[in-house]
């Protein structure tokens, strides 16, 4: 029997480097993960350069590659993808930014780039949408909250450019930067001027917003400035259904991944209690994915919490969260008629607190898969597997072949 569906699970940032706190093991190697190990033992494993060896992938370029959309062709910046995932309908030519709510002192110094990892910022975004006036620039804008401290800004109008810098210095203890055009063009300078005015007006609104007044009274960091980066111009993406002949869904708390799914035509599936953090409802994601597989050919699931631990340098927390993921994956051991792919999108080593170019482990398990001798899912074991070392754009063609949907090359 040949499997006819694909379940693609991306364990965001789960791959790592040796951690001193874990006796020189990676969090994945140190974690208790009987389910992932069994899936590895029942499948074929390998390691993967999501983009190419030595290239540090963003989550955006990585997921495009994993879905078979060459980021060198399709990627202009993360902003439009975040906008789509935040509920903004992006049209070709619109300019998008990914944003953070952050904390700034009264004298203009960034105290916390994530505003205490604030959640439930919809009221703050609504106040900005209602109160900021950019009519002098003859442009429209949409500002929406994403997951946690994240948000997105989209600009629509004539004469806009996407080659502008960020106001985010990516460190604390300094003032936000001034957004500048990166080419000698009126379009880029116009966009830069709009961004600086947006930050000025939105900060005035946020400083006096009741939510931030209450946070200050409770000793919490207020979300009183917007940091923006990842400017990009919305382009055209070939629909997933036309590219592969498959119907599909996406399950993710991260607005970026939801946005990528929206742009290529994957239906977003809402799951209660998913946060993109350590407290996310992972079991709910897996149950929703199994339900979707009854009516769709392809389901993409992103599980993000380990990436946050990597960025925060918390190796023990990352190890323990992997155990939580593992327990939630147990229902997949009984999943039939389905190719299951499990991988990371990139490594997020706790020792550097950022993405790295280290290759990530991969499992492909299901009917028709040639099993190898790997019995543990970690960076070391998977490197010995039958898949060897592949690229991110290789995964969808491999999966299509396994469900007998690949096209012959040649006569």
Average pLDDT of the segment spanning 240-261: 95
CA distance 91 to 111: 35
Average pLDDT of the segment spanning 243-253: 97
What is the band of 148 on the pLDDT scale with cuts at 50, 70, 90?
Answer: confident
Question: Which one, of 5, 10, 63, 6, lies nearest residue 329 by Cα?
Answer: 10
Question: Which one, of 49, 89, 93, lies nearest residue 71 by Cα?
Answer: 49
**Mean pLDDT taken over the chain:** 96
What's residue 63's pLDDT? 98
pLDDT of 1 over the 80 cut: no
**Segment 175-223, tens digit of pLDDT:** 999 999 999 999 999 999 999 999 999 999 999 999 999 999 999 999 9
What's residue 2's pLDDT? 83
Domain extents for the chain?
A: 6-76+236-402, 89-233
What's residue 229's pLDDT? 95
CA quadruple 261, 262, 267, 269: dihedral sign: positive
What's residue 411's pLDDT? 86
pLDDT of 147 over the 90 cut: no
What's residue 198's pLDDT? 98
Question: Which one, of 230, 298, 251, lies nearest residue 83 by Cα?
Answer: 230
Whole-prediction pTM value? 0.87
What's residue 236's pLDDT? 87
Average pLDDT of the segment spanning 148-174: 96
**Given the DSSP bridges, would you call strands 298-303 and 339-343 parallel, antiparallel or unpaired?**
unpaired
Average pLDDT of the segment spanning 55-66: 97
Correct CATH for 6-76+236-402 of 3.90.1150.140, 3.40.720.10, 1.20.1050.10, 3.40.50.920:
3.40.720.10
What's residue 154's pLDDT? 98
**Segment 298-307, tens digit of pLDDT:** 999 999 999 9
Instruction: Give the full edge-to-edge strand order of the sheet including 248-251.
Output: 267-268, 248-251, 298-303, 6-11, 339-343, 360-365, 44-49, 388-391
Q: Do 202 and 196 contact (CB within 8 A), yes or no?
A: no
Average pLDDT of the segment spanning 353-369: 97
**Segment 280-327, tens digit of pLDDT:** 999 999 999 999 999 999 999 999 999 999 999 999 999 999 999 999
pLDDT of 145 over the 90 cut: yes
Q: What is the DSSP letter of 147?
A: S
What phi and psi, each to the nearest 5 degrees, are found at residue 192?
-60, -45
What's residue 113's pLDDT? 96
What's residue 119's pLDDT? 87
**Segment 375-409, tens digit of pLDDT:** 999 999 999 999 999 999 999 999 999 999 999 99
Q: Cα separations (Å) of 336 from 110, 293, 328, 404?
A: 51, 10, 17, 16
Q: Which residue has the higher pLDDT, 82 or 1?
A: 82
């Amino acid at each position: 029997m040949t499997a006819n569906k694909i379940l693609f699970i991306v364990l965001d940032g789960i791959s790592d480097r040796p951690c001193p706190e874990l006796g020189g093991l990676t969090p994945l190697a140190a974690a208790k993960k009987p389910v992932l190990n069994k899936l590895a033992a029942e499948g074929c494993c390998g390691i993967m350069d999501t983009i190419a060896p030595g290239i540090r992938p963003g989550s955006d370029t990585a997921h495009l590659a994993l879905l078979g959309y060459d980021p060198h062709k399709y990627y202009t910046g993360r902003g439009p993808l975040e906008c789509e995932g935040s509920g903004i309908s992006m049209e070709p030519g619109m300019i998008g930014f990914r944003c953070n709510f952050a904390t700034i002192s009264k004298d203009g110094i960034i105290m916390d780039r994530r505003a205490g990892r604030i959640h439930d910022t919809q009221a703050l975004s609504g106040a900005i949408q209602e109160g900021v006036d950019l009519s002098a620039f003859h442009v429209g804008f949409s500002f929406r909250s994403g997951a946690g401290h994240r948000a997105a800004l989209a600009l629509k109008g004539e004469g806009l450019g996407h080659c502008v810098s960020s106001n985010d210095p990516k460190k604390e203890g300094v003032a936000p930067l001034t957004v500048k055009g990166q080419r000698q063009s009126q379009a880029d300078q116009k966009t830069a001027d709009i961004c600086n005015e947006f930050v000025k007006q939105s900060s005035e609104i946020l400083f006096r917003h009741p939510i931030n007044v209450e946070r200050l009274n409770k000793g919490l960091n207020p979300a009183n400035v917007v940091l923006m980066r990842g400017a990009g111009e919305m382009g055209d993406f070939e629909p997933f259904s036309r590219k592969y002949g498959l119907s599909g869904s996406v399950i993710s708390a991260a607005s970026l991944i939801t946005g990528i799914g929206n742009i290529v035509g994957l239906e977003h599936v809402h799951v209660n209690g998913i946060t993109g953090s350590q407290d996310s409802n992972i079991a709910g994601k897996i149950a929703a994915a199994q339900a979707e597989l009854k009516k769709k050919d392809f389901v993409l699931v992103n599980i993000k919490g380990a990436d946050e631990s990597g960025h925060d340098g918390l190796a023990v927390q990352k190890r323990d969260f992997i155990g939580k993921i593992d327990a939630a994956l147990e229902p997949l051991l009984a999943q039939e008629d389905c190719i299951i792919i499990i991988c990371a999108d990139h490594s997020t080593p706790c020792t550097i607190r950022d993405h790295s170019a280290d290759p990530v482990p991969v499992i492909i398990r299901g009917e028709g898969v040639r099993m190898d001798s790997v019995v543990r899912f970690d960076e070391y074991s998977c490197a010995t597997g039958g898949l060897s070392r592949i690229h991110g754009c290789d995964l969808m063609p491999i999966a299509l072949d396994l469900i007998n949907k690949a096209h012959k090359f040649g006569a």
